[in-house]
Amino acid sequence: MSLTQWTAFVEVCRAGTFRAAAEVTGFTQPALSRQVAALERDLGVSLFVRNSRGVSPTPAGEALLPHARLVVNEARRGADAARQAREGQPRLVLGAVPSAAASLVPRAIQSMMMSEPNLEWTIVSGLTPRLVEMVLSQEIDAAVVTDAPPGFPATKELVATHLFDDEMVIVAPLEHRLGNRSLVNMADLAGEIWIEDNAGSESLLRQLAVRAGFEPRLHRSAQDLPTKTGLVAASLGVALIPQLLVPSLRSDLALLRLEQPAYRGIYLLTRREDRSLDTLRTALLTSRPA
């Protein structure tokens, strides 16, 4: 299977018709059809359903699409990296857990660009286990991760630099009964419904609840932090979030700090042999919350 076939498939999915995809790729429509047909033969499956308005992926096509996008995007990134290396242009592909990607990492990159204005940068957001894999496979240069459960594995191939400990705080609807307090006791929240989005946050929540003597009522309806905070703003529950996320919070939420909070460590993961990321490490340390 050639890269041209993968690209043809991705562009047809994006455009919805062979004609529109041909205009984007520069192929003729018959040539584009031949590329997709060759991919279908190689895989032994039909990838598109033809209809009066164009085409749509079959179940096999839907299954293939995220992988095809990854192949095509990585090929483009590889070509860009080669060109930048030839031209001596500095380049950074940095992974980050979502809360760090929302605040800490942008500040760090802004700081780096004061001394390296030609820096080409990309931020890849993800959870710690996936980011660890990406650093090890050299898909990304480094990652800002957390040791919240399940944490990250100790391996001789990676160096973990502790940046700081991030306090966990509570967000509640703006009109919440405890919203006017500067500090709250976790036991005061025993009757609340808790919105959760990932196992790491849930584990920290359970630790806090056990310490306060209750079992939290969980609603695992959120897939990410924006959904989590949106559900809280709609008065559907409260949520435990990292302090790192606070600068980017929406305005219709109340922030509750705990008398006895939990913390999670924030780390920079790099490959052991990589000595070129000292500037990044310094920028992250100077950009951490006061």
pLDDT of residue 89: 64
Q: Does residue 287 contact residue 107 with C-beta atoms inside 8 Å?
A: yes
Mean pLDDT of 31-59: 92
Return the structure tokens found at 59.
Answer: 């179940």
**What is the DSSP code string of 95-159?**
EE-HHHHHTHHHHHHHHHHHH-TT-EEEEEE--HHHHHHHHHTTSSSEEEEE-STT-----TTEE
pLDDT of residue 88: 59
Separation between Cα atoms, residue 83 and residue 88, nearest integer Å? 9
Domains identified in the chain and CATH numbers? 3-85 (1.10.10.10), 88-164+265-287 (3.40.190.10), 167-262 (3.40.190.10)
Mean pLDDT of 69-77: 83
| pTM of the entire predicted model | 0.70
- DSSP class of 141: S
pLDDT tens for each residue of 163-222: 999 999 999 999 999 988 889 999 999 999 999 988 888 999 999 999 999 999 998 878
Is the model's pLDDT at 87 over the cut of 80?
no
**Conformational region of residue 255, where left means phi above 0, alpha means psi within -120 to 50, and beta covers everything else:** beta
Is the model's pLDDT at 86 over the cut of 70?
no
Strands (E), 43-192: 48-51, 54-57, 91-96, 120-125, 142-146, 158-173
The residue length of the chain stands at: 290
Separation between Cα atoms, residue 103 and residue 222, nearest integer Å? 21
Bridge partners, residue 144, by sequence: 96, 268
pLDDT tens for each residue of 222-248: 888 889 999 999 999 999 999 999 998
